Structure 1
């Protein structure tokens, strides 16, 4: 249960009661603007509402006066023990020990589903991420988008959305012809030819050697006698297949999977032309015209020509300039194909689409959002999340490039060295649109400076406490549903209460993170929760009365074990959303 949503409803009900008693009528839309959230300073209370600030002006009252009137009604709530009017009119509520005991019990009975909700109402959402060109292995730049996209999808699923995870295979552009030529060179090498230095413009990595060997095994030397127009389609198909198999394996190592792999070539295959259909959909809305574009700002490129083009009126939807749909040779632009791909998503029933892209796609955002709004008549919405670059370091020194890929450090190399958990957590321990420095040494340290270790260690400590409890008091029933029956009001220490309040924030945090599509909030929350738990643990070392296991005080021990078990549950729930393991032991 999201306690803040719960109290939002209570505050609104109190407002209706107040206005009914006074014979006043207030616009329901105004009441809907009333919110409840944690106070900035928890010393001021447990929940805070802006109700008096929102409604005072329409009612012609001073905020504090309205706050006092509303507070008198809220004081009657059995879960409220104190009401305070603060600042210009915020209403701060302090909640009862019994209320917090119920929150703790709810965590135990809900398990890792605690924090999940159905606010998404099974609304279909398409999350497209990774979508790397099938021309080589995944590199660390792809890694961040893969993890961010996967975590966004998990957040949306946790809040009740029907999520489809999708990968768009860019297998129709000139880059896959370059891939085929590069693979053909390795095929000649596999047949014993000395190919010398890889020519500029071809892919130089060793990862294409197995492709060359496979071509030799399948075709022998037959392809050598063919013209490029004959062998290129055959080699291209096999090279793309081999690259996608490699990419799938790399993603599996990272714990990333997709529901749909959508081929760009399929947009114009099997007897239909989705690109032509999408362009026609824009024409039908009067959004395609013949015209000229102003020259680009700054120095004109050598190939600039002021000519009449087929243009999409993207400026009508917030773009900076109208966009071409056809090239000078009459073929479709890449942008037209991208419109068609999103049009296909629309036809598949998606009205909410999320693309997770690299920072180099910043110029793509306005035009693509404009296209989705236009071709759907405003029914569909596209959100684009950009992921900034990742810089690799080892003890503060930049990491050298990989030999295997030719010019980049591969994702598989990073995962192999530091493990999936470290890679995933650290890729999320910073906002996606901020640059990220990834230091191999830091992420393998067992210290507070290594966030993934610090959070996983908190979970391992909760498991350790439970094991120790069974050793010292063998007849304890530590099943969460049984611990939920303990007298949880015995948790009177401020550190214990602070942990309960922090855990009770989790459902709200999940919902806000999903709405903002910002999984880094989950990573930050888990680190804060782990820090609070470790700090409380250390207090117990100095003050024996705070220790979790006190055989001579069985009821207090059960209550504290309930607290520890609930904290382990919340940490595990958060790590599951991030795709990170929650170990019971750390070695």
Structure 2
């Protein structure tokens, strides 16, 4: 149940009636008509921009449209309508409509706020996709949390979501991994490892070396590289993927699919994807213009096989095959996205690190070309995370040798705190992670503030139950909710009622941080009502000696708990039942 959508439907019905009556011209597009909370709550419960967006196409003054529309809206759930300024309409709903939202939350439970917006569309969310050369670091951490929360958000809004990890095991970095693991294998056999420049120095490869010794003994010692490289590469890659799965499990993340880049080679799949583009006239032999600015010393104009990505919004055409016939890094990525399109996904979402910004246009161009524009691709870039403690840059143990690991952060801060805080900024904004601040108990710490609200809801439920109130959702839904008539209570109900709208807006924008922001606002409204109850006894959730009124107020508290639980569930955070 989305009350804002319901009221918007009434506005659209009234506009249709105005067209039928000749008060508006035929053929108007109502797609941009919105109903949303006003910026200033004093102006009303909801506001619509209908008159403003229709004035120009209708050839009318906005206020003239607003006054005629207002006359058709003052019935049913809409108690009053006010025309403001040049033509905005401010709406006030009958209190009973808001009180019914408490019942809707209790009846809906964990499904309150779910929508059919996604209509079962198949969405592929590819995220993390870290090179399988070591444990995940703090940069991967933010992308992992964002991707998982986005997938949950889309699932909650009616999409059929697949979480996918693209294993970058086709490049030279996995050969470097094999050579690094071989040195740890030599170490396990009592020899001094030769960790040359360019190899991976982290201690995380020591267990891999020991596992190699357990399998091969000393049989590979002093063997030429060509005899062990492939086997150790595959063994070490598998070990690293097990390590990465363990890191993801610390955050409660489970992938549906792991796709291998290496599996694209030698199977004809890259060739098939490129041939599809070639058959559309989008592949040609040519020479690129030199890069703008200062030329690299090694620059030389040479003929290459190019994809006409500039026809689909890219800045220049992109090479997909080198002059020696080898594929560029872009070619397997084209094949991989063609595979996802071929699997029947209606929408693709890629979550990349900020250093992949230059890859966005070319990947969008490839997907447009491969799908004939049918399948949209949304690339989300994840900005860096900076670690602090008490406001000072914080250096951790760096067990990986060169970077701070995901495991380091989660073990210090906890999975719930880590996940929530990673979603307190939009994905493309830098984020500071201060270990002291994310654990402090104050209003300035969003995760603590929301969890405190959850704990307060559970505390009043326990107290009411001790007094003999049936605190099951079914029983509370039958309470006399008309008792919830104080402005402070109605304000909290309005915030609860916004939840379905917030879900849909966040899902449309692919922005799960909106859920975190909303939960903070909801928690703030609950705490505000709670604190007012310290001075005004009639606002307390538990009314001594009056079980009926207590049931009504507990119903309100429980509706807040329903929404907090659902919202935290989307973020992958466990709601607190008590604070310690």
TM-score w.r.t. structure 1 length?
0.97
Q: In structure 2, which of residues 532, 544, 549 is the aligned counterpart of residue 556 of structure 1?
A: 549
CA deviations on 1:78-100 (whole Å, 9 max, x unpaired) are 21111100111011110001111
Contact 1:352/1:382 (8 A) holds in 2:
yes
Which residue in 1 is equivalent to 2:100? 102
Answering whether residue 233 of structure 2 is matched by residue 240 of structure 1, we say: no
The residue number in structure 2 matching 1:534 is: 527
- Does residue 488 of structure 1 match 2:486? no
- Of the candidates 553, 573, 583, which is equivalent to residue 576 of structure 2? 583
Could you tell me whether the CA contact under 8 Å between 1:30 and 1:54 is conserved in 2?
A: no
The match for 2:181 is 183
The aligned residue for residue 64 of structure 2 is 65
Q: Indicate the SS of the match to 2:29.
A: helix
Secondary structure in 2 matching 1:31: coil
- Kindly state the Cα deviation for residue 467 of structure 1 after the two structures are TM-superposed: 0.6
How far 1:553 sits from its partner (Å)? 2.7
- 91 and 323 in structure 1: CA distance in 2 versus 1, 3 angstrom threshold: same
Which residue of structure 2 lines up, in the alignment, with residue 458 of structure 1? 453
Query: Secondary structure of 2:129's partner?
Result: coil
1:225, distance to aligned residue in structure 2 (A): 4.1
CA offsets per residue over residues 331-372 of structure 1, 9 Å max, x none?
100001111110110111113100011000000001110111
Shift of residue 9 of structure 1?
0.9
**1:166-177 aligned within 5 A:** 166-177=164-175
Residue 299 of structure 1, CA deviation? 2.4
1:54-93 correspondence runs (5 A): 54-75=53-74, 77-93=75-91
Contact 1:37 1:49 survives alignment (8 Å) = yes
Superposed displacement of residue 561, structure 1: 0.5
Q: What is the match of residue 339 of structure 1?
A: 334
Q: Paired residue for 2:350, among 355, 366, 386? A: 355
Match of 1:402, SS state, is coil
Shift of 1:226: 2.4
Q: Which runs of 5+ in 1 are unaligned?
A: none
The reply to whether residue 570 of structure 1 matches residue 567 of structure 2 is no
User: Alpha-carbon deviation of 1:394?
Assistant: 1.1
Shift of residue 39, structure 1, vs aligned partner: 1.2
1:300 positional shift: 2.0
Does the 8 Å contact 2:115/2:157 carry over to 1? yes
TM-score when normalising by structure 2: 0.98
Distance 1:357 1:301 in 2: 27
Q: Tell me how far apart the structure 1 counterparts of residues 183 and 410 of structure 2 sit (CA, whole Å).
A: 30
Of 462, 468, 482, 1:467 maps to 462
What RMSD over aligned residues (CA atoms) do the two structures have, in Å? 1.3
C-alpha distance in structure 1 between counterparts of 2:20 and 2:369, whole Å = 46
Q: Shift of residue 36 of structure 1?
A: 1.3
State the Cα distance separating 1:381 from its structure 2 match. 1.4
Which of 118, 128, 131 is matched with 2:129 structurally? 131
In the alignment, what sits opposite 1:364?
359
Q: Confirm or deny: 8 A CA contact 1:401 1:407 kept in the other structure.
A: no
Cα distance in 1 between the residues matched to 2:521 and 2:541: 20
Asked if residue 3 in structure 1 is aligned to residue 9 in structure 2, the reply is no
**What stretches of structure 2 of length at least 5 have no aligned partner?**
none
Q: Would you say how many aligned residue pairs link Structure 1 and Structure 2?
A: 580
CA–CA distance in structure 2, aligned partners of residues 25 and 436 of structure 1: 50
Deviating above 4 A after TM superposition, structure 1's stretches of 4 or more consecutive aligned residues are none
What's 1:39 paired with? Answer: 38
Q: Is the 8 A contact 1:135 1:175 kept in 2?
A: yes
Task: Tell whether 2:194 aligns with 1:202.
Answer: no
For residues 405-444 of structure 1, what are the structure 2 equivalents within 5 Å?
405-444=400-439
Q: Distance in 2 between matches of 1:298 and 1:227?
A: 45
| C-alpha distance in 2 between matches for 1:297 and 1:58 | 44
SS of residue paired to 2:221 = helix
1:502 to 2:499 alignment? no
- 1:387 corresponds in structure 2 to 382
1:247-396 correspondence runs (5 A): 247-269=244-266, 272-396=267-391
For the residue of structure 2 that corresponds to 1:302, the secondary structure is coil
Give how far 1:22 is off: 3.7
Deviates more, 1:322-331 or 1:571-580: 322-331
Helix, strand or coil for the counterpart of 1:537?
A: helix
Tell me the secondary structure at the aligned position of residue 30 of structure 2.
helix
Deviation at 1:192, TM superposition (A): 0.2
SS of match in other structure, 2:83: strand
Shift of 1:52: 1.6
